[in-house]
Every structure is written in C-alpha cells, then in structure tokens.
Amino acid sequence: AQKITQTQPRMFVQEKEAVTLDCTYDTSDPSYGLFWYKQPSSGEMIFLIYQGSYDQQNATEGRYSLNFQKARKSANLVISASQLGDSAMYFCAMREGAGYALNFGKGTSLLVTP
C-alpha cells in the first residue's frame, strides 16, 4: 500500500498567487516525520520543510508552510507568492518511527505562469 499519496499530478498557478499541494500519508506509528522536497528539471532534490508528528504548530520556512492535519493524516504544502522559479516537481515524503528511509510520493508537477 502507498504510504504517501499525492493526488495532483500537475498544478498550475499564476505568479504571485498562493498554491496548495496535497499530501496524505498512512502510518500506524505514532512517531513520524514529514518532509517536502523540490526537484527542478536539473534533477537535484532540494529540502523545503519538515514537520514532526509531535510538533504542535505547523512548520513554516519563508514562503513555504505545511498545513498539518494529524487526524486527517494530511500534510499539505502551501507556497505563498509563487515565483517563476518555483516551477518544479514537488515530493512529499515520510520517515516512520526509528526508520531511516524516506518514503516518497509520486510527486506533483507545479508550473508557475506569468
């Protein structure tokens, strides 16, 4: 079964607008971490933001914020004031318990238009 589900294969947003990329996860472990990565066409995975399962507040990093809804098992990424350089693939990932591996979703392709 898929641990991480990203239901939006492609998203479009106009420059300076906000956009939400969806991510739902599946785990029975009470301790886990959720990560978002950006992968531009160059291929390198760039870390954006992290949310721990015990964190009381939603994580924020500059223009990125994570809308963490634990009961719904969702961890959506919100990008505010989109820029053309935000066009890329975005991956949600989860690390469970004491494990080391990240389980990634299939990603969402974001295109920012002028």
> Measured from the CB of residue 14, what is the shortest distance to another protein in angstroms?
26
Residue 1 interacting with another protein (CB under 8 A):
no
Q: Does 107 participate in binding another protein (rule CB under 8 A)?
A: yes
Chain centroid, CA 62 distance in Å: 14
Pair 88, 110: CB distance under 8 Å: yes
Would you state the structure tokens that stand for residue 70, as one six-digit string? 């634990």
Contact 94, 52 (CB under 8 A): no
Is 47 near another protein (CB under 8 A)? yes
User: Are 34 and 27 spatial neighbours (Cβ–Cβ below 8 Å)?
Assistant: no
Decide if residue 38 touches another protein (CB under 8 A): no
Is the CB of 56 or the CB of 114 nearer to another protein?
Answer: 56
Residue 105, interface with another protein (CB under 8 A)?
Answer: yes
* Rounded Cα gap, residues 35 and 75, in angstroms: 9
Q: Does residue number 78 form part of the binding site for another protein (CB under 8 A)?
A: no
- Give me the residues that bind another protein (CB under 8 A), please: 4, 33, 35, 37, 42-47, 50, 52, 91, 93, 95, 98-107
